[in-house]
Structure 1
Amino acid sequence: MATIETGLGTVIITGSSGLIGSAFLAHAGERYTELCLDSKAPPRLAPKTAHIIPCDLTSDENLHQALDEVRRLGHRRIASILHLAAYYSFASESSPLYEQVNVRGTEQLLHGLRDFEVEQFIFASTMLVHAPCEPGARINEDWPLQPKWSYPKSKVAAEQLILRERGDVPVVLMRIGALYDDHCHSIPLTQQIRRIYEKRFVSRILSGNVTHGVAFLHMEDMVTALALAVERRKELPQVTTLLIGESETLSYDELQRTISRQLYGQEWVTHQIPKRLAKFGCWLQNLLPGADPFLKPWMIDLSDDHYAFDISRARTLLGWEPRHSLRTSLPSIINELKLDPEGWYENNHLRAKTLPSQ
């Protein structure tokens, strides 16, 4: 491959094949030279300015080979690093991959970038690093940290590592809400919609407080925030922590009522059950032959958590405001399911055999 010679700023993206990475590439177009450090190519059509460089963050040797390729292509000055690559799974509460990918992979990346001129390092974190709040309160960037399971714990560890190892490189820590898009692509939301669509018994019960909920974030608003952070990199403080999410948090009960009304023309009442009973039910479900349960016993302790955002810092520093809301997006998400159930299930990685008879 010839050395890339353009006047565009260079952006390195880890995890470019993921939902955020591929959405950012589509949004950015040809404004930058995008160097995609990933183990596979983005699933969507990438702009002509994007170049895929094979990279495995868990391998120090492989990462250094990828960065050597960046140098060979003539890129020593990097406008921004978008560190989006991460391990994330609801299959189990813990996994060694949280440490290997989210923490050690971040450390190796930072060390490998030391002889580059880096103008900015953006890290995709999560709202789950924070302690939850009560309805009526709003979390801001100074809210206490209280990660409750391995994924957010790994993000806190990575954030702290970045602050220690950044040197003079300005950093942006983006703590983002629960992501979704026009086709859903949110595992918890997909599962909630699925339970109601399939009229499962568990769709009518919850172990947590039904008046609580979490802050969501549309993918288009997410990539807009990333793009604004890159564009304003020279105006931001050396260390910038931002909460990125919608300012309205819908309660679990409101989601239940909205989804059931959209699907069946009536609002379902959700009944709260004791946590011990819910854990036993989850454990029993996981033992059934051929079962495909999403809910796990360890999730029950998180069911009361409530997250509502104060996004004033993102408004001030980025001029960012979410243009979407889950409230207005849900009807089109549900309508897509009703029009093409099989396609919706496939698009959201659900087992089609659980589809109800039409």
Structure 2
Amino acid sequence: MEWARGDVLGRGSSATVTAATSTSGEIFSVKSVDFSQSENLKKEQHILSMLNSPYVVSYKGYDTTRENNNIVYNIFMDYMSSGSIIDLINSRKGVGLTNMEIARYASNIVKGLDYIHSSGIVHCDIKGRNILVHENGAKIGDFGCAKWANQVSLISGTPMFMAPEVARGEEQGYAADIWAFGCTLIEMITGNSPWSNVTDPCSVLYRIAYSNEIPDIPSVISDQVKDFIIKCLIRDPRNRWTAKELLKHPFIQQFDENSNEIVCEKIGTNSPTSILDQDVWDSIEESSSLSSLSSSLSLVMDDKFGQSTCFSVRQRIEQLACKSETEKWVSEKGWITVRGCGAVIDRCGR
């Protein structure tokens, strides 16, 4: 297949996502990384190739190309015209999402989670930046941290969205995705990250892992929506609702029965220009920052749990470095020359 690489849509710690067009005129997105660093992207390709849901970003194939004397590994996916939920909020310049958008996206996300969990997969990094939107709704994207439920692996994801059991290093299963989904709903409603009232990253990690607290739930929403979020944020993962149970919640059922009905109360429009204004974690991506965080975390944990506990928590934070792609959908104009690339298109029989 011949295709041309277009505007850069997002950049993560290692991979780059660009728009692309084939010679037949099809527009899609391409996630690319240097072949020598492609192990994680190959794992993502394998997982995506096994999924087929209207609530998960569609996989279209993969190939390798030679660009600027480097071999590049690429996977092809849906082009989502509005970017992520975060980009959509940012584009509104403080206006925020509408009630109907929040209800529709919540319905789409929980259906996507039910599908991937039924397929034996844990996403491990649910958050607004990894929920992609277009005119028909939302899809779960970025499976760079995903794993099989029975797979023993390092903890991954974004600390601000971590469930208590994940922050303690105990487990990262389906229930952890549900907690992150509850945090994402707060993000969608308020225009702020969960735990946005805490400015010290060490303090918020301690609160997630060892307190009895949950993120502040907005007061402007209806009791029904508040109850739905609470079901996602039960601290004990054994009692937290599953995606299948959430599908039966009146909030989702009411929206599905009548998608024209507004199921939330009026939501304020005082969201910041950038939803990440108060996100203390997004700046912690480089190793130097992680080193600083580790030192601070050591001081926080010493008084309560001693050096051995502090060391294990510090290790877990360091293990999160660069595992979560935090794409920012931007425009870098210009299409490069269409070229033949010897594509290997894998549609899994679909």
Whichever of the two has the greater Rg, that structure is 1
TM-score scaled to structure 2, two decimals? 0.30
